[in-house]
Structure 1
């Protein structure tokens, strides 16, 4: 059985919540799952102070002692996650953005490899596609294997025709997510992801030292020597490009 966590960035148990419930029903038609609903409004998560202690010394040194780690623990023990949010001012809801801010250290030290990620956005008129792209990019930066999410029109009153289109989008999104969820092997990184990893680690080797937790983390995981974050077979072209990205990262860091 696969464990799924749905992070819901709406304080109302209405359209966004109902969309996740329908997604769950569709996903269960593919595989056996256990899905936990996490309403961010029910958790105390204070605003990030920008002290950078989580970057430089490690997340345990964060001066804010709230429910952040409760949610992180749920994500760590899940096989997949769903980020579900209404479209608020052309972005995710404040509670979801705040959680992403408070866990930004994972962008420096990606963790969730081998886990599936997707997103659901509910909205009135437009703007949701850019939010889906943003969340997909965030998921990849966190280490997840991502599948394309869905944008649903939920402006009341929702007509039967719109509801039918929404249901079809949810059905397709659930099938895409299940495909990623059941993947047995780690995917080969795209050229962009390979570039981000190799240039970042080269810059880190040049600019940081063992006093910084990011540096310690990379060294402990062998990322200063590896082809990528996890063991993967790169084709000859990607191996060559990886060396080029290492060189560019080294040169860029040396210019600072």
Structure 2
């Protein structure tokens, strides 16, 4: 499915693309010690390929998370990867990078996985394009393959637009509210030993309307007055 997705790029533009299979990387299981949250990710006691994978994301313009439906969720490998980078939910950083999700399944349940991954992408800071869930049993009929191709093409164009349109999106009321709540929580803590507080302070988010510079109308700006 991903190979078919990438063929769309090859027909429209030149692109450097890399397949990243989590099974090929050493990712130890998160133990929930919370050192990455409280002190910083560099204090994580697990020494594995987490930072190598983060470097790949940092060096990219766009990311596609693809997973089969395993017991109505992402694979254990992907869930563990998300657990290992969960500190970024507190300290988002992938602003301006395009993101989409593709889920493959045999019967049903994948739509909720797509929504989960889209929500995850937003919380990490990505500019999220709506993903898709593809139902595929073997052998596939020509009609089923046609339906899959149509879904993939729609997802491709949504992702392509996010990738090419580099202007940072204007946040919704919900996103602004989440930002203000996080900001207020950090101000209440005011603990220089707490990594989240230091990160917000370093980014000047206590003085900002949002995570990045963006024009807000008077109604959206009013959210700041209440938090």
SS of corresponding position for 2:33: coil
Alignment of 1:94-109 (within 5 A): 94-109=76-91
Aligned residues: 227
Aligned to 1:4: none
8 Å CA contact 1:87–1:121 kept in 2: the answer is yes
Moved more, 151-160 or 127-136: 151-160
| CA distance in structure 2 between the partners assigned to 1:173 and 1:184 by the alignment | 18
8 Å CA contact 2:106–2:135 kept in 1: the answer is yes
Q: C-alpha deviations, 1:217-248, integer Å up to 9, x for none?
A: 1000001110000000111110012322x1xx
- The partner residue of 1:146 within 128, 150, 171 is 128
Aligned to 1:89: 71
Aligned to 1:240: 222
8 Å CA contact 1:27–1:175 kept in 2: the answer is no
Q: C-alpha deviations, 1:123-175, integer Å up to 9, x for none?
A: 01111110110000000000000001111112222221111100111111000
- The partner residue of 1:112 within 77, 89, 94 is 94
| CA distance in structure 2 between the partners assigned to 1:175 and 1:27 by the alignment | 9
8 Å CA contact 2:189–2:197 kept in 1: the answer is no
- The partner residue of 1:197 within 171, 179, 188 is 179
Gaps of 5+ in 2: none
| CA distance in structure 2 between the partners assigned to 1:43 and 1:191 by the alignment | 38
| CA distance in structure 2 between the partners assigned to 1:148 and 1:173 by the alignment | 7
| CA distance in structure 1 between the partners assigned to 2:13 and 2:221 by the alignment | 36
| Greater than 3 Å deviation, 4+ residue runs | none
SS of corresponding position for 1:162: helix
Alignment RMSD = 0.9
8 Å CA contact 1:223–1:229 kept in 2: the answer is yes
Distance apart, 1:208 and its partner CA: 4.1
* Structure-1-length-normalised TM-score: 0.87
| CA distance in structure 1 between the partners assigned to 2:79 and 2:225 by the alignment | 35
| CA distance in structure 1 between the partners assigned to 2:148 and 2:224 by the alignment | 41
Aligned to 1:8: none
| CA distance in structure 1 between the partners assigned to 2:225 and 2:104 by the alignment | 42
- Shift in CA distance, 30/241, structure 1 to aligned 2, threshold 3 Å: farther
- The partner residue of 2:38 within 56, 59, 70 is 56
| CA distance in structure 1 between the partners assigned to 2:44 and 2:83 by the alignment | 12
* Structure-2-length-normalised TM-score: 0.98
- Specify which structure has the higher proportion of strand: 1
